[in-house]
């Protein structure tokens, strides 16, 4: 498993627990660092994801709402919402992550923590966001 994938998996747990029961993200990160022993690179990326989602959640949620078809963000499962927020944050704010990589990683998270339908759902939403951003010059498509 790559370090960034580990960071994304941990970020899902942090955002899930924060959204579901209001756990303090920094406390959850500290707990995960003890439990999963990520590399320094993974921990830095985990913190970057969580801080970006926290800081820009209103904008991320606005973009997600624009691209959800027949769904309301509040009606999604906590896991799906966390995964979509991570993927959307990477698409919007992480210029060092190619769009297709962000989408693929989110789909893999959805498959791991959800089911095949979750993977297709996450792919559809994030792909629509990616296309709306006009990142046709994304070198890693």
- DSSP one-letter string for 32-47: HHHHH---HHHHHHHH
- The number of CA neighbours under 13 Å toward the Cβ of 48 is 17
User: Is 141 inside a domain boundary?
Assistant: no
21-80 pLDDT, tens digit per residue, is 999 999 999 999 999 999 999 999 999 999 999 999 999 999 999 999 888 999 999 999
pLDDT at residue 140 greater than cutoff 60: no
- Per-position b or e across 40-56, b if 16+ CB within 10 A of its CB: eebbebbbbbbebbeeb
CATH value at residue 52: 1.10.940.10
71-101 pLDDT, tens digit per residue, is 899 999 999 999 999 999 999 999 999 999 9
Whether 16 and 78 have beta carbons less than 8 Å apart is answered as yes
How many independent structural domains does the chain possess? 1
Closest CA relative to residue 8, chosen from 58, 57, 50, 55: 50
Sequence-separated (6 or more) residues with CB below 8 Å from residue 101: 140
Mean pLDDT of the region 4-21: 97
* CA distance linking residue 114 with residue 23, whole number of Å: 22
Range of the domain at 122: 3-132
User: Is 42 inside a domain boundary?
Assistant: yes
User: Is 137 inside a domain boundary?
Assistant: no
User: Is 140 inside a domain boundary?
Assistant: no
| Residue 7, phi-psi category: left (phi > 0), alpha (psi -120 to 50), beta (remainder) | alpha
In the block, which residue shows the tokens 């747990």?
A: 13
User: Is 104 inside a domain boundary?
Assistant: yes
User: Is 83 inside a domain boundary?
Assistant: yes
């Amino acid at each position: 498993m790559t370090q960034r994938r580990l960071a994304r998996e941990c970020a899902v747990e942090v955002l899930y627990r924060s959204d579901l029961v209001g756990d303090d993200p920094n406390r959850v990160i500290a707990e995960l660092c003890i439990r999963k022993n990520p590399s320094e690179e993974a921990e830095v990326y985990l913190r970057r994801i969580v801080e970006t989602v926290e800081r820009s959640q209103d904008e991320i949620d606005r973009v997600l709402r624009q691209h959800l078809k027949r769904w309301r963000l509040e009606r999604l499962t906590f896991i799906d919402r966390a995964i979509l927020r991570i993927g959307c944050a990477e698409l919007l704010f992480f210029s060092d992550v190619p769009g297709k990589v962000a989408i693929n990683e989110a789909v893999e998270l959805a498959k791991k923590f959800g089911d095949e339908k979750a993977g297709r759902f996450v792919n559809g939403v994030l792909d629509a966001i990616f296309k709306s951003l006009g990142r046709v010059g994304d070198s890693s498509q």
